[in-house]
């Protein structure tokens, strides 16, 4: 199929690349000429495992092209994906300006019947607004061209996006056109052979499904952080609690890891946007309020522990391992590390930070500062540091030589923002240990 995808961010670039991988002719459109030129020269602007190799191979084969020519891309496409950003507005609601501007562009250049697919995360009712915007432009031109508007939300996890696209858990399609559904089934057939993954529903339900999924996952994280805060106060270890409740199949082990809070491009803005949607329809979403409040507070927890240990941190140097909001990405949007660094700087501390992929992004986000050193190696971040803080659970951080860590630190203390270390092992190496919800007054059970 000839497919046009507007947007070359995480969603657009991964979706376009994977569709090209199975033989479709894909044109990815972006208004950023510099980014398009880079992609055409083999420069992939984001880090995502496995993506660069697929982009280069499919671009070389001719199946994947990048352009700024929206008019030509619309004219040649049978299916047009909208995969542009919907950043939060000042009130937290989703900003649809890019989506609606793109709908108008489609209406201005459409010359044959097409299927317009909303893949951006958008509030319920957006498909109606997209349809109206396209229809208005067609009417302005005085032409009658049939088109369908569908909702096909993405469920890609950063760090696993290529795998999620090639082997999806589900393919949600919201549509009111049988013809459009059949064409989408053909498009997704290569990803749907093992078993039926397509879930059909009406457009509005599909739009809400995306928000509901992210809100549920965010709720699990905030709930566990709430339990961790209780565990600290009652002398329980949240890691034991996690295993105890995760063994219940009704709960499961996924997304019940306490830590320094969630971040990224999806959970924070989607919880906010769903909250605002509910309020616009006269409903106060109390659970969503709590999810957001708990997460905002949790991002301050590590700094509170640092203050608890040192008192005044002015003049201290803090080593930070991990800047991205999660492993296997360089994305620092809403990352808990950003909150921590801001607090440390405000208190007069200096930061030596290392992240295997987000170092360049951090340099762009923070700029040149006297109180920040972005290091090229994990251990070099410890040179002259008073403490080590773990903020992102990259695999390379899981099994450090704690004896070496102790020797490099001026004050032997580790703050584990992701609970990946065994407190006894850290303390056996002569380091103080602080985790999230690790109530140390409870002895660890002996293995019989």
Across all residues in the chain, what is the average pLDDT? 95
C-alpha distances in Å from residue 100, one per residue of 85, 121, 237, 355: 11, 13, 49, 37
- The DSSP string of 257-314 is --SS---SSSHHHHHHHHHHHHHHTT---HHHHHHHHHHHHHTTHHHHHHHHHHS--T
- The DSSP string of 349-405 is -EEEEE-TTTHHHHHHHH-S-TTEEE-SSTGGGGTT-SEEEE-S--GGGSS--HHHH
Which residue bears the tokens 């990803």?
Answer: 191
Q: Considering the chain, what percentage of its residues have pLDDT values greater than 70?
A: 98
Confidence class for position 442, pLDDT limits 50, 70, 90: very low
Crossing angle of helices 10-21 and 51-61, in 10° steps, is 60
Read off the tokens for 78.
């049978």
Residue 448 has pLDDT above 70, yes or no: no
What's the pLDDT score for residue 92?
82
What's the pLDDT score for residue 305?
96
Give the gyration radius of the chain's Cα atoms: 24
What's the pLDDT score for residue 156?
94
What torsion do the CA atoms of 364, 368, 372, 377 make, to the nearest 10 degrees?
60
Helices H / strands E in the chain, number of each: 17, 14
Crossing angle of helices 126-141 and 97-109, in 10° steps, is 30
Q: Mean pLDDT, to the nearest integer, of 210-216?
A: 97
- H/E element holding 9? none
Q: Which residues contact 428 (CB under 8 A, 6 or more apart)?
A: none
Active site residues: 266
Q: What is the side-by-side strand order in the sheet with 147-151?
A: 64-67, 25-29, 2-6, 79-82, 114-118, 147-151, 171-174, 198-201
Contacts 24+ apart (CB under 8 A), 142-148: 145/110, 145/111, 145/112, 145/113, 145/114, 146/113, 147/110, 147/113, 147/114, 147/115, 147/116, 148/114, 148/115, 148/116, 148/175, 148/176, 148/177, 148/179, 148/180
Residue 93 has pLDDT above 90, yes or no: no
C-alpha distances in Å from residue 165, one per residue of 77, 137, 159, 193, 389: 21, 33, 12, 14, 34
What's the pLDDT score for residue 102?
96
Residue of 417, 349, 353 whose CA lies nearest to 383: 353
Q: What is the pLDDT of residues 354-363, one digit of tens each?
A: 999 999 999 9
What's the pLDDT score for residue 440?
59
Confidence class for position 229, pLDDT limits 50, 70, 90: very high
The CA distance from 94 to 101, in Å, is 14
The CA distance from 17 to 45, in Å, is 14
Q: What is the pLDDT of residues 189-205, one digit of tens each?
A: 999 988 899 999 999 99
What b/e readout covers 77-91, taking b as 16+ CB neighbours within 10 angstroms?
bbbbbbbbbbebeee
Residue 446 has pLDDT above 70, yes or no: no
């Amino acid at each position: 199929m000839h497919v046009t995808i507007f947007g070359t961010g995480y969603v657009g670039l991964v979706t376009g690349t994977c569709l090209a991988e199975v033989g479709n002719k894909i044109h990815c459109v972006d208004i950023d000429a510099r980014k398009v030129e880079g992609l055409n020269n083999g420069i992939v602007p984001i880090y995502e495992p496995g993506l660069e190799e697929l982009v280069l191979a499919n671009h070389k084969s001719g199946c994947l092209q990048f352009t700024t020519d929206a008019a030509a891309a619309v004219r040649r496409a049978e299916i047009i994906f909208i995969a542009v950003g919907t950043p939060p507005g000042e009130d937290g609601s989703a900003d649809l300006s890019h989506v609606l501007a793109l709908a108008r562009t489609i209406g201005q250049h459409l010359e044959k019947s097409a299927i317009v697919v909303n893949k951006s995360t958008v509030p319920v009712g957006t498909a109606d607004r997209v349809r109206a915007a396209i229809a208005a432009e067609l009417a302005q031109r005085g032409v009658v061209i049939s088109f369908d508007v569908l909702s096909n939300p993405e469920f890609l996890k950063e760090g696993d996006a290529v795998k999620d696209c090639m082997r999806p858990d589900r393919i949600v399609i919201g549509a009111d056109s049988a013809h459009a559904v059949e064409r989408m089934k053909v498009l997704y057939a290569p990803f749907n052979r093992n078993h039926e993954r397509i879930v059909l529903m009406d457009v509005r339900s599909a739009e809400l499904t995306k928000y509901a999924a992210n809100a549920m996952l965010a709720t699990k994280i905030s709930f566990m952080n709430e339990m961790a805060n209780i565990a600290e106060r009652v002398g329980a270890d949240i890691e034991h609690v996690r295993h105890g409740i995760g063994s219940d199949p009704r709960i499961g082990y996924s997304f019940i890891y306490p830590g320094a809070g969630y971040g990224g491009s999806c959970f924070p803005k989607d919880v906010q946007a769903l909250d605002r949607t509910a309020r616009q329809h006269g409903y106060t979403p109390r659970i969503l309020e709590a999810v957001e409040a708990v997460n905002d507070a949790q991002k301050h927890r590590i700094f509170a522990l640092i203050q608890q240990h040192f008192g005044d941190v002015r003049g201290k140097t803090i080593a930070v391992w991990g800047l991205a909001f999660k492993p296997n990405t360089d994305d620092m949007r809403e990352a808990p590390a950003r909150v921590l660094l801001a607090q440390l700087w405000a208190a007069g501390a200096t930061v030596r930070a290392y992240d295997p992929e987000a170092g360049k992004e951090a340099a762009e986000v923070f700029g040149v500062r006297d109180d920040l050193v972005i290091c090229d190696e994990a251990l070099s971040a410890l040179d002259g540091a008073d403490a080590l803080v773990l903020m992102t659970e990259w695999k390379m951080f899981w099994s450090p030589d704690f004896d070496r860590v102790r020797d490099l630190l001026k004050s032997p203390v580790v703050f584990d923002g992701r609970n990946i270390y065994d407190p006894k092992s850290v303390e056996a190496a002569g380091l103080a240990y602080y985790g999230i919800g690790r109530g140390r007054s409870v002895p660890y059970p002996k293995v019989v």
